[in-house]
Amino acid sequence: MCGICGFTGHRNDQKAVIERMMKSIEHRGPDSEGSFCGGEITLGFRRLSIIDLEDGQQPMESADGNLQIVFNGEIYDYKELRAELEAAGISFRTHSDTEVLVNTIQKYGEKALDKLRGMFGFAVWNEKEQTLMLARDFFGIKPVYYAQIDGHFVFASEIKSILAFPGYKREVNRLALEQYLSFQYSALEETFFKGIYKLMPGHVLIYRDGKYEIKSYFKARLTLGQWEESQENSNVGTRRDENVNELKENNPDMQPLQARLETILDDSVKHHMLSDVEVGAFLSGGVDSGYLAAASGADQAFTVGFDEGNRYNEVEKAAQVAKAAGLRHHVKIISKEEFWNSLPDVMYHMDEPSGDASAVALYFLAQEAAKHVKVVLSGEGADELFGGYNIYREPEALKMVGWIPFGIRRAVGRLAAKLPDVKGRDFLIRAGKKVEERFIGNAYIYGEKEKNQILKGGVTGQTTQEFLKPFYKEIENDRFLEKTDRTKHTHKVCRIEKKSGRDGLGKSHLQDMEKMQSVDLNYWLPGDILQKADKMSMAHSLEVRVPFLDKDVWTLAAGLPKEAKIADGTTKDIFRKAVSKYIPQDTDGRKKLGFPIPIRVWLRQDDWYQMVKELFTSKEAEEFFHTEKLLQLLREHKEGKKDNSRKIWTVLAFLIWHHTFFYKESSERQLQSN
């Protein structure tokens, strides 16, 4: 795990600029640094040594000397790829996955991306062609950002490195704020900093002669109920003609599929344990992290909690899993004061505001783990791949009113919206909406009416539903290989059919639960879950690996029928069964809390109430919000009339982020000038 940065174009101060950019991401790689200053390219690198501790220094050149690479991440099939390249006559100087990666690109070009099994964000300079290639992994585990500044193309693992480039003028992207208030994370391709963009998951960018082209080489698309291998290099699996639905008909408990899932999961964990340093595990007490901690053979596990009772604490549950697996268990209890005092540092490392308060818990979890190990396994992705969120049960619950004509349901829902906040009101409202209207992901903080009430100037860009409409349309029409003026799909995708998901015209389509899962896979997962995992771990120079987000695991999970996910009164049913041998029976059935944060409790206490009130009446708050509306939310929550904790936190996080990157930075520059 490392940090990368760089820029195109000649500058007299190349060395000084790249050193400043590298310094801003030193936390991503405290072990060493390296740079390359060529005629038209400057590359920078900060290293956290994990594999080939002595000889894996970057930037690194290809065997023919034409390519220069800086690479953040891990390639888990690098040994297999190395053997393939050696058979083709390519010799190696090191034992690092970086050297394998750059030579795989030398041999295969962009097609090398289809061969990779891992997490990555990298930049490759081709001296002969004078081109720069940026690439981001399939699911967006590792971040890549870019911008064009005064004729230079600039890129980095973190936004703060681009901010260090001379000539960039900071300006808040208001459109990002508008979507953030609903999603609770930065959902747009353009970040909160105007002119700075994120390279989206599964995309590659080619820069040449002052212009760039972005292509999609992979998209996370569910394959409508049939499992088969969609990648020729997938080396774990079964016969292509085996069908999940056939397995289900012949084996009601789907034992063969469950056994195959066990094999693929265990293989992924094995590959993710490749390291020249010790690997530990995050442990929440849930089935995802419990499986990884036990199956990996790790020696140490790490858990955080709050001293606010069992409702906000999974330490006891995690301790049972750790004891059963024979793990040394490290626990960090976060105090209310520690939580509050960490917020500026958390938002600084996040780069963009995060309305997900669990990012703070993850910050402390990574801090504790980094005292003992340099690498941990974590369970991100299991809920998105295997249908683990309770909201995925909603389509089944709504079937009880499915016999009522939709027009009547919509009318009832509109009437219910005018009622006081009583039991059953939300159900009636959601029953009167199509999934495309009611679901934008696991978080839905502010609706459009609420945003117009609190934002100065109201909503000026797209509504959240308008923003997601093209995506919903694409997955509804099953247009996996659709081309746009910016995007070209080059990967292979399974085009399969599901009898229960076909309309009268014979067109294949997704059911509501699968649509919800697709939104989470493509927006919530990279925008919230993986973003905080990377930024909070790297804040403490800790590498987080996510074995569930593996290409072979995805190949199977993408084709699972709904019955393998929601069944027997539980979510991710087949996954639970596949890993059950690793999880104590008395903990497997308990409700998973994730990273429960006692925000709603603290906001009703005088000290937090006063601190938040002060921020909500600040000049910075007045710049963006109608502060009287913010104070109303705060009062209603304090008095127990409503639970506005998530709405309050989302605005609070933005204000702390803005103060950190704009007000504080401006003050420091003013002091330096004096």
* Cα of 563 vs its chain's centroid, Å: 26
Q: Is residue 180 within a helix (H) or strand (E), and if so which, with residue range?
A: helix 174-183
User: What 3-state class would DSSP assign to 596?
Assistant: coil
Of 395, 517, 479, 441, nearest in space to 187 by CA: 441
Of 652, 139, 143, nearest in space to 445 by CA: 652
Give 373: exposed, middle or buried? Use CB within 10 Å, 0-12, 13-18, 19+.
buried
Give 615: exposed, middle or buried? Use CB within 10 Å, 0-12, 13-18, 19+.
middle
| Catalytic residue check, 5 | yes
300 backbone dihedrals φ, ψ, rounded to 5°? -130, 145
Of 652, 602, 663, 659, nearest in space to 625 by CA: 652
Bridge-based pairing of strands 41-47 and 60-61 is unpaired
How far are the Cα atoms of 271, 366, 374 from residue 377, in angstroms, in the given order? 11, 11, 11
Angle formed at CA 165 by CA 160 and CA 168, multiple of 5 degrees: 90
User: What 3-state class would DSSP assign to 456?
Assistant: coil
* Cα of 302 vs its chain's centroid, Å: 21
* 297 φ/ψ sector (left φ>0, alpha ψ -120 to 50, else beta): left
* Cβ(282)–Cβ(379) below 8 Å: yes
* Cβ(21)–Cβ(165) below 8 Å: yes
Q: Which member of 2, 5, 37, 494 is catalytic?
A: 5
Strand order, beta sheet including 196-198: 32-37, 41-47, 2-8, 152-156, 145-149, 196-198
**Cβ density class 203-230: b for 16+ within 10 Å, e for less:** bbbbbeeeeeebbbbbbbbbbbbbbbbb
CA–CA dist 354, 196 (Å, integer): 17
2 backbone dihedrals φ, ψ, rounded to 5°? -150, -175
561 C-beta neighbours (distance < 10 Å), count: 22
620 backbone dihedrals φ, ψ, rounded to 5°? -65, -40
| Positive or negative torsion for Cα 474, 480, 485, 489 | positive
Mention every residue, 6+ apart, whose C-beta is less than 8 A from residue 326: none
Q: Is residue 576 within a helix (H) or strand (E), and if so which, with residue range?
A: helix 573-579
CA–CA dist 111, 114 (Å, integer): 6
CA–CA dist 582, 321 (Å, integer): 9
Give 32: exposed, middle or buried? Use CB within 10 Å, 0-12, 13-18, 19+.
middle
For the record, the structure tokens of 227 come out as 């499992």
Residues catalogued as catalytic: 5
